[in-house]
Amino acid sequence: MKYVSASEVLPENLLREIQKYIQGKTLYIPAPKGCRKKWGHDSGQREFLLNRNAEIRKLFRQGMNVDQLASSYCLSHDSIKKIVYKTQA
C-alpha cells in the first residue's frame, strides 16, 4: 500500500475536519463496499494458484499420486490432499 499525504489529495476544509480527530498518524481509508478486490487480484497470485491447483487435480486424475505431486510442487501431503479432494463449486 502506497503512502499518500492527505494534504495532497483532500480539500483544505475536509483536511481541517479530519485533523480534529487525528493528527500525525497513518489513517487507512477503506474502499466502499462493492469496490474491494479479492486477495491476489492485482498481483495475479490468485489466478496463478487457481491454475496451479487445476493442474494438480488434472495430474492426480491422470494417475500421479499424492507423494509425487507433493514432491513436484514442493507442497505438503496435506496441501495436495486438500487440493485434489476439494469439492469444486
Query: For residue range 22-45, what is the model confidence (pLDDT) as tens digits?
Result: 998 988 888 888 877 777 777 889
Average pLDDT rounded to a whole number, residues 76-84: 95
8 Å CB contact between 56 and 80: yes
Cell numbers placing 38: 479479492
Does this model's pTM top 0.75? My answer is: no
Q: What ranges do the domains of the chain cover?
A: 6-85
CA–CA separation, 40 vs 58, rounded Å? 23
